[in-house]
Amino acid sequence: MIIRFFVTIGIALSLAATSPQTAQADAGDFIGGAVVGGVVGYAIGKDQQKKKAQSSTTTRTYRQGIPSTTQGAQTQTALNYFGYNAGRVDGQVGRGTRSAIERYQASMGYPVNGHDFQPYQYDFLMQAYYWATSGGQGATQLSGQPLLMEYRRQVQTGSALAAAPQPQTQAVPAAKPAETQPEASAPETTSASLPSLFSGGTGGPSLANRCSGVMLQTSTNGGYTTLSNMSDPDFALSEQFCLARSYAMARGEDLMQDIQGLTPDQVTAQCDSYGDMLAPQVDALSISSKSEAETQMRKLALDSGLSPEDLAATSKVCLAIGYRQDNMDTAIGSALMLVAMGEPAYGELIGHHLREGFGVQERRDLAMQWYDASLSALDAGSQAVFLPSQTDRPELLRAAMVQAQ
């Protein structure tokens, strides 16, 4: 029964009160038969207001005036892995890391500016790192920059290995789009080839690999599509899909830092169970109207006995993990739960999935319902959760939707 599937708030409180070693052992006893639920809700809720006033990636400082961030550590790790020598992995993006970023940008044909590390540049670096450490290096017998160039070649030709389950502590940056042009040596890819580039390890297309291809094309185009330069509305929507995915991962993985008493692997296992539980609702998205899908999810939420706040907190964490693992049931189900719990902006993700057929049957007619509802909610004052600083983004999405029909 659904009530047995969830962890209660009482269990969460007892876990938070015990020592880390005992808490993790206890968590292991019910893992797989429960969802993060109250554990995540409690851990996040107690610090939520405090964290709103803080930088989402700042954790600590080793050198005066330079914050240490999760993204910084990930960037340094990947740059070092591919031979760009960012130095010590401490999360602090100083002169040495910026110089390594510039060497990476130059080799990829990106605009060279270590102070302006764009999301598509970071995403491509991290996807290459995941691929390489999940079998790519062993299969190619390459290392350093030649290994990165081989990944780029495979993305261009559509032969990259399917994305493997990826580390659960990775965060994604939230930077503004670049407006500069890349050098002439930028790699060439056509957006028309992107829809069928890859197939994932779960029997369907890999969204992680698709977004690698999209980010590669973005770099070729010299930055993100804008209203003034949009010539391919389908690609513009795919680009915004991958950006929204990155923002969702950044938010959820930032919240993971507040979870007490569970290891990342344990949280991941529980989110996998969460996805299994939500899979019927995800399957029904392709045959149900938006209203019907929300009604069914609200009933599921009511039966769980958990508060909307706990379900929303759980869903934000599991949304990030689902996307990192290319687990579409977990990702889409979490987005649907967030909409049902009163956060309509997440409906944009469901629109993208229905439009492109990732994790659900392609239904562009139903996708329009989700797009329209999420954008209307933004017009009515709902909080933007994807690229909130890009005020013209809703207008770009609307224009692309109309032109792509």
Q: Where are the domains of the chain?
A: 2-55+249-404, 67-161+178-206
pLDDT at 165: 38
* The predicted structure's pLDDT at residue 158: 64
What are the average pLDDT values for consecutive 10-residue runs of the chain, which has 405 residues? 37 33 31 44 42 44 63 89 92 90 89 82 84 86 92 75 40 39 38 33 67 83 86 94 87 77 84 92 95 94 86 91 91 96 95 95 95 94 85 92 89
SS3 309: helix
Task: Please tell me the predicted confidence (pLDDT) of residue 310.
Answer: 86
Query: In sequence order, what DSSP letters do the residues of 102-169 get, joined into one string?
Result: HHHHHHHT----TT---HHHHHHHHHHHHHIIIIIHHHHT--HHHHHHHHHHHHHHT-PPPPPP--TT
Which residue reads 């889409």 in tokens? 332
pLDDT of residue 405: 79
Cβ atoms within 10 Å, residue 251? 19
The residues with which 58 forms a beta bridge, in sequence order, are: 69
Q: What is the pLDDT of residue 36?
A: 53
What pLDDT is attached to residue 2? 41
pTM listed for this prediction: 0.66
Q: Rounded CA gap, 337 and 346, in Å?
A: 9
Helix (H) or strand (E) holding 69: strand 68-69
Classify residue 194 by burial, with Cβ atoms within 10 Å: 0-12, 13-18, 19+.
Answer: buried
Structure tokens at 325: 């693992």
- What confidence score (pLDDT) does residue 189 get? 37
pLDDT at 275: 92
